Amino acid sequence: MPAASRYRKSKKSNKKKYIIFSLIAFAVLAIIIFKLISANLLYLNKTIYPLGYKEIVMQESEKYNVKPALVFAVIKAESNFNQNSESHAGAIGLMQLMPSTFEWLQTKIGDDNNKMTSEKLKDPNTNIEYGTYFLSYLIKKYNNEDAAICAYNAGQGKVDEWLSEKKYSSDSVHLDSIPYPETDNYLKSVKYAEEKYISLYFSK
């Protein structure tokens, strides 16, 4: 075989090897980049949706049979895990309980001879216990998580009213529409956060 022909064959072979090597290197680099991006996204998501007060939440959610993801989602939506948070309306603490609601809840699970003041709502243990019990009570009352979440925000009286009207509820159980934009947005916010918590921590 002439030297020129052998040279051309060798050149083609080297070019083919170079292309294969380049494709493999690109694939490996793409996998590394994908894993780095995925890890960073996971870290970012877990930073935005943390398991704050995890021990208390897990304990109270089990005690009152409420999904922990829902409790975390309500805390995220209500106070973003700030135990000293106070709203303009007067709601206090991690799960933003009103003093009047707290007083009423104490007649359900508290000690009648040892009533706590609203200042106690800044204590994470107390706030999460009573907030989780309140969610449990609402879920049992309405037999519907969405209605319970709306009642947590707008009050039981309003949700009772909406469920009794055909324009808002066709079956008196599910809310087909929510007349309060604030409550509608609140429900969407809590459900989105709940889905995030499930996918990040409770899907296995």
| 24 and 100 fall within a common domain | no
For residue 109, give both structure tokens.
């699970």
| 82 and 175 fall within a common domain | yes
Are the C-beta atoms of residues 77 and 94 closer than 8 Å to each other?
Answer: no
| 84 and 22 fall within a common domain | no
| 40 and 59 fall within a common domain | no
Are the C-beta atoms of residues 97 and 60 closer than 8 Å to each other?
Answer: no
pLDDT tens across 81-115, in order? Answer: 999 999 999 999 999 999 999 999 999 987 666 78
| 98 and 163 fall within a common domain | yes
pLDDT tens across 27-56, in order? Answer: 544 454 445 445 557 788 999 999 999 999
Name which of 131, 156, 136, 149 is nearest 192 in CA terms. 149
The residue range of the domain holding 163 is: 54-202
Number of structural domains (the chain) is 2
Say if pTM beats, i.e. exceeds, 0.85: no
pLDDT band of residue 67 (cuts 50, 70, 90) is: very high
| 103 and 131 fall within a common domain | yes
CATH of residue 68: 1.10.530.10
| 158 and 183 fall within a common domain | yes
* Residues designated catalytic: 78
| 90 and 181 fall within a common domain | yes
Are the C-beta atoms of residues 53 and 128 closer than 8 Å to each other?
Answer: yes
**In the prediction, which pLDDT does 30 show?**
47
CA angle 189, 195, 101 (to 5 degrees): 50
Instruction: Taking the CA atoms of 96, 139, 104 and 115 in sequence, report the sign of the dihedral they define.
Output: negative
| 24 and 65 fall within a common domain | no
Are the C-beta atoms of residues 74 and 135 closer than 8 Å to each other?
Answer: yes
For residue 18, give both structure tokens.
């170079």
Cβ count near 91 (within 10 Å)? 18
